[in-house]
Structures are given as C-alpha cells and as structure tokens.
C-alpha cells in the first residue's frame, strides 16, 4: 500500500512538478498542504491511490489541473470549471480591473460579458459591484450551465443568455460596458496543441484569430449607450490590429492594457454615440 510520501515520490519520478503533485494529492485527500507534510507516512486507501494515479496519468497528458480537481480561483472567487469551459486565466483579471475602473461613478450600470465561459468576468464584476445589472452570454449550452451554477453557488445575481454574441440580447436596453474575452488564437497557432483539452471553439475562431474581435467591434456600437465602453481581451500580438478595428469603427480614447507578464492583453474604446 502506498503512503503520502510514496505517492508524491512516484508522481515526481513520473515527471510531475512536486508542487502539482502536492496540489493533486491534497485534492484527492481533501486536506491542506500542512496536513500532507505532517502525515507523510499515512497510507492512502485503495480508492485514493486509484484516483491519484488516474489524475497523474491525465495530468501527464496535459489535462489542466483545474479540470481534474474541478475548480479554479479567479478574482478571489472559486469557480467550478468543466471541459465545457475555458479555464479562467490570471491575465484576464486585467480586464476585470479595467472594467471596474470604467464602472466607477456609475450607479446601477448595465454590463454584458460576451463569451462568459465559466462566468469568470461577469461573476468577478458582480462580486465587486452588487448594484450593477450584469448579463452574461455564451453560445455553448454546457459552458452557460456551469456559469449559471457558479452564480447560484456564489449567490451572485446575473442574467444568463444562450446564443451567439449579441443575438440573445434582442430587446435589451443599451449597456454602459461591454466586456469580452472572445476566442482569439489563430487557427494554425502551435500552442493549440498544448491546449487540446480545452474547447477549441473557446480558444480560436480559426483563420488569423481576429474574426470575433472584429465582429464584436463592429456590432458593439448598436448596444452601447453614448459614452459606453467596449473592452476586449486579445493576443499579445493583436494589439495593433484591435486598435485599428476600434478606430475604424469610430471608437474614441482607444487604449491598451498589459497583462501580468507585461504583454499587450486588452484594448478598449469609448463609443461617443
């Protein structure tokens, strides 16, 4: 029978970084790191050992840790994630901070998060601005169900719509802020191979990666109140292209934010109306 330190040793020998091995074992045992360290000779039950070995094999096949343990922390919220949803990235918190800045001074602002996935952006905003009227849209029924479940578990009020971009918003009043982290990876980008366990439709619109960014920039003015803002996440090498899309569509104050690694990550503009 395997004990705690034996399980960790086996995982590291198989190629898993020690911190990941500890994280997975903590999730299997439902314990904190300090417990693992203090109980390194405790035996695993057959069920725990089986689950740990299954997760180890899947992790070595590059399945995201978040899919194995079933959740991911984003903007201080623990979100459930499944293979229907993109795993929220820390870089996307840049977009949330910018959105919160744009909402400062507005009372009960109307906001929509397009392509919400697990609900990460919409729920982060709802947690910080309980007065905001927040809508979230996704074309994937599986993703939207997870987003709704996250909203319910966290007790956050948001309105969910299934459909493509603005289509399910027909009849809605104009928004103060439209925020989106759409699929933007180019269809032939080599990184997609390493991301193969996440939904391809969440990562890439195929082609050069700009189709959804272009569609959102074109359509957003029909849904923004005068003075409202559109904020978009994009690839590190797409900032110039998105700035051109915004300016050509007539957005003012087109501006750029960088991610935690200092790379261009989000662009936005103000619709003067």
Ligand X SMILES: C[S@@+](CC[C@H](N)C(=O)[O-])C[C@H]1O[C@@H](n2cnc3c(N)ncnc32)[C@H](O)[C@@H]1O
Residues that bind ligand X (CB under 6 A): 86, 88, 92, 115-118, 120-121, 137-140, 143, 164-165, 181-183, 201-202
SS3 category, 32: coil
Least distance in angstroms from the C-beta of 113 to ligand X = 6
Least distance in angstroms from the C-beta of 73 to ligand X = 12
Least distance in angstroms from the C-beta of 121 to ligand X = 5
Of the pair 44, 120, the CB lying nearest ligand X is at 120
Least distance in angstroms from the C-beta of 65 to ligand X = 15
SS3 category, 130: coil
Of the pair 44, 230, the CB lying nearest ligand X is at 230
Q: How far apart are CA 133 and CA 169, in angstroms?
A: 13
Least distance in angstroms from the C-beta of 227 to ligand X = 24
Least distance in angstroms from the C-beta of 182 to ligand X = 6
Helix 18-29 and helix 46-60, axial crossing angle in degrees, nearest 10? 140
Of the pair 144, 243, the CB lying nearest ligand X is at 144
List the structure tokens of 4.
């705690």
The DSSP letter of residue 213 is H
HSE-CB for 72 with a 13 A CA cutoff: 22
Of the pair 7, 195, the CB lying nearest ligand X is at 195
Of the pair 21, 77, the CB lying nearest ligand X is at 77
For 16-47, b/e burial (b = at least 16 CB within 10 A) is: beeebbbbbbbbbbeeeeeebeeeeeeebeee
Cite the beta strand spans of the chain per DSSP E: 71-74, 77-80, 110-114, 133-138, 159-162, 175-180, 224-233, 252-258, 264-271
Q: How far apart are CA 232 and CA 267, in angstroms?
A: 5
Least distance in angstroms from the C-beta of 34 to ligand X = 31
Of the pair 22, 181, the CB lying nearest ligand X is at 181
Of the pair 5, 172, the CB lying nearest ligand X is at 172
SS3 category, 18: helix
């Amino acid at each position: 029978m395997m004990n705690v330190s034996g399980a960790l040793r086996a995982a590291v020998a198989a190629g898993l970084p020690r911190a990941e091995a500890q994280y997975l074992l903590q999730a299997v045992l439902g314990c904190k790191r300090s417990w693992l360290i203090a109980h390194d000779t405790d035996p695993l039950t057959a069920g725990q050992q089986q689950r740990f070995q299954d997760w180890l094999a899947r992790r070595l096949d590059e399945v995201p840790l978040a899919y194995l343990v079933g959740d991911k922390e984003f903007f201080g919220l623990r979100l459930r994630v499944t293979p229907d949803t993109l795993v929220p990235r820390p870089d996307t918190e840049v977009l949330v901070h910018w959105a919160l800045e744009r909402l400062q001074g507005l009372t009960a602002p109307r906001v929509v998060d397009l392509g919400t996935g697990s609900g990460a952006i919409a729920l982060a905003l709802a947690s910080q601005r309980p007065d905001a009227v927040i809508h979230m849209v996704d074309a994937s029924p599986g993703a939207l169900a997870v987003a709704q479940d996250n909203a319910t578990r966290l007790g956050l009020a948001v309105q969910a719509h299934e459909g493509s971009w603005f289509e399910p918003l027909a009849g809605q009043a104009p928004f103060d802020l439209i925020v989106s982290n759409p699929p933007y990876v180019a269809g032939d980008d080599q990184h997609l191979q390493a991301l193969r366990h996440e939904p391809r439709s969440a990562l890439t619109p195929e082609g050069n990666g700009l189709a959804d960014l272009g569609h959102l920039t074109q359509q957003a003015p029909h849904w923004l109140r005068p003075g409202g803002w559109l904020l978009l996440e994009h690839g590190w090498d797409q900032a110039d292209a998105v700035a051109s899309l915004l300016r050509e569509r007539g957005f003012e104050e087109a501006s750029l934010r960088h991610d935690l690694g200092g790379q261009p990550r989000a662009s936005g503009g103000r619709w003067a109306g």
